[in-house]
Amino acid sequence: MDGTETRQRRAEELGLRYALSIGKLPRVSEDGPLSVPESQRVSPKLLGTELSRETALSIGLQVIVPFIFAGLGLSGAGILLNYFQHWPVFMEVKDLLTLVPPLVGLKGNLEMTLASRLSTAANTGQIDDPREQHRVISSNLALVQVQATVVGFLAAMAALLLGALSRGELDFEKVELLCASSVITAFLAAFALGMLMVCIVIGARKLGVNPDNIATPIAASLGDLITLSILAFFSSFFYKHKDSRYLTPLVCIGLMALTPVWVLIAKKNPPIMKILKFGWFPIILAMMISSFGGLILNKTISKEQYKGMAIFTPIICGVGGNLVAIQTSRISTYLHMWSTPGVLPLWMKKFWPNPCSAFCTSEINSMSARVLLFLVIPGHLIFLYVIYLVEGHSVPNSKTFVVFYLLAGLIQVTILLYLAEVMARLTWHQALDPDNHCIPYLTGLGDLLGTGLLALCFLISWLLSEAELDGILELASGPP
């Protein structure tokens, strides 16, 4: 299929793909060929025109408010984590800190993926019909609950395994507490954020705002706060009642027992059922990647030279994840509008585009990448200012650290935005939906990159301050 054919494909083709995506087969017309009811037809020209009308200014105005709001939520999450790390349960069960990035990262694996799917459905007209809206939403929420329960359990297993490998021993007494805390945190956070995403996407659609620009940042703004609070509350509760032998196993078994109920609800939507059967690899691999970031956090958080690591980790990881999720969601919507799965538009045929073309052309995805990249430095400066106002005594106050921190944030987001372009093309060429297969990998990688670069910032800043101090002492001890 050449570029002209891709751009000018018939509305019936889009309608057919829409009908299949919501689980309905199109009717056979009297003339023979497949047809789609008028109420379900989608006009690619209209949708494409709406997308092409977006400018850098309009994208920036729609993104900046939820982005700042999300960043303030991430700052609050960092302050909370800095407070929670001194609780007895976090001091006693060190592997809980390893759980933080993968559990917080579930908003990238699950909620941001959900938001991206719903945003794409909204932008392509799939949830305009009330009956189909209810079916699409209920099946998506059920899918998220199944994924959250399973991935929450696997995240606990990964944290235990990484902790055992790093310490050389496995503490069996903490296994039940860690598993119960992880599963109930993932379950409740997924439910709360899933409902929030549904409200945001439907509200944005009614207000004429592109959900791709606002849904994922708002998910992140409350996601980290909700997840950390639930994890701290329930882990502390289980720790206080650790003598109650059957409490934690009953919690795990009870939540796992609900899984068949969610599967039955998800069966109402065949494409969602397909994700439930074959979509596990991206979210499990992303969880494993985030767990390595958690191991870095676990090993550095209590050391003096990394003072403030707990505060900045949710911020740098969250900002990178938010921005790359926005870009991936936009690219996915763009591909759904202008092409069919397995066929890339002519102007996107290269799997590994030149980095300049990903950031420096007039094409809509390149323009949105520039807008998101330009938000990194101002955003981090605002969040740094908030942190210094609230927790100035708990973080480094040197200009050297600030410079390296901003540079780390810029490097992280640049890498992620480029990889979003590459991965979206590769997955689409394989007839896979970028909403489901790219965002988990990218947010997991964002957690690992963010935690690693942040630890490097603290180390470099500490080494430079030590070298400066040694120079001052040498001068002071020199001859008069």
DSSP labels for 422-461? HHHHHHHHTT--HHHHTHHHHHHHHHHHHHHHHHHHHHHH
Contact 301, 310 (CB under 8 A): yes
The CB-side HSE value for 282 (13 A sphere, CA atoms) comes to 24
Question: pLDDT 10s digit of each residue in the chain, 480 long?
Answer: 444 443 333 333 333 333 333 333 333 333 333 333 333 344 444 444 455 567 888 888 888 888 888 888 888 888 988 888 888 988 888 888 888 888 887 765 677 678 777 877 787 777 777 888 888 888 989 999 999 999 899 988 888 888 888 776 676 677 888 899 999 999 998 898 888 888 888 888 888 777 767 776 666 667 788 888 999 999 999 999 888 888 888 999 999 999 999 999 998 888 888 888 888 888 888 888 888 888 888 888 888 888 889 899 989 988 998 899 888 888 888 888 888 888 788 777 777 787 777 788 888 888 889 999 999 999 999 999 999 998 888 888 888 899 999 999 999 999 999 999 999 888 888 888 887 788 888 988 998 999 999 999 999 988 888 777 656 656 666 555
Rounded to the nearest 5 degrees, what angle is found at the Cα of 50, between the Cα atoms of 56 and 417? 45
Contact 359, 417 (CB under 8 A): yes
The token pair at 266 is: 């998800």
Least Cα distance to 44 among 20, 16, 21 occurs for: 16
Place of tokens 């794409």: 120
Least Cα distance to 181 among 247, 110, 109, 85 occurs for: 247
Q: What is the pLDDT of residue 201?
A: 84
Q: Residue type for 416, please?
A: L
What CA–CA distance (Å, rounded) separates 267 from 211?
26
Q: What is the pLDDT of residue 410?
A: 95
Q: Which residues contact 219 (CB under 8 A, 6 or more apart)?
A: 107, 111, 112, 115, 193, 196, 197, 200
What CA–CA distance (Å, rounded) separates 395 from 310?
10
Q: What is the pLDDT of residue 35?
A: 37
The token pair at 257 is: 């027992």
What CA–CA distance (Å, rounded) separates 102 from 225?
14
Contact 76, 386 (CB under 8 A): no
What CA–CA distance (Å, rounded) separates 297 from 340?
42
Answer positive or negative: Cα dihedral of 38, 43, 47, 49. Answer: negative
List C-alpha distances in Å: 325 to 8, 41, 152, 215, 412.
Answer: 28, 28, 21, 10, 13
What CA–CA distance (Å, rounded) separates 106 from 439?
11
Q: What is the pLDDT of residue 404?
A: 94
The values of phi and psi at residue 34, to 5°, are -65, 140
Return the H-helix or E-strand segment holding 170.
none
The values of phi and psi at residue 433, to 5°, are -85, 120
Q: How far apart are the first and last CA of the chain?
A: 82
Q: Residue type for 48, please?
A: G
What CA–CA distance (Å, rounded) separates 71 from 317?
11
Least Cα distance to 462 among 412, 395, 386 occurs for: 395
Rounded to the nearest 5 degrees, what angle is found at the Cα of 123, between the Cα atoms of 118 and 124? 100
The CB-side HSE value for 374 (13 A sphere, CA atoms) comes to 15
The values of phi and psi at residue 342, to 5°, are 95, -15
Q: What is the pLDDT of residue 261?
A: 93
What CA–CA distance (Å, rounded) separates 43 from 476?
76
Whether pTM exceeds 0.85 = no
Q: What is the pLDDT of residue 382?
A: 94
What CA–CA distance (Å, rounded) separates 435 from 332?
6
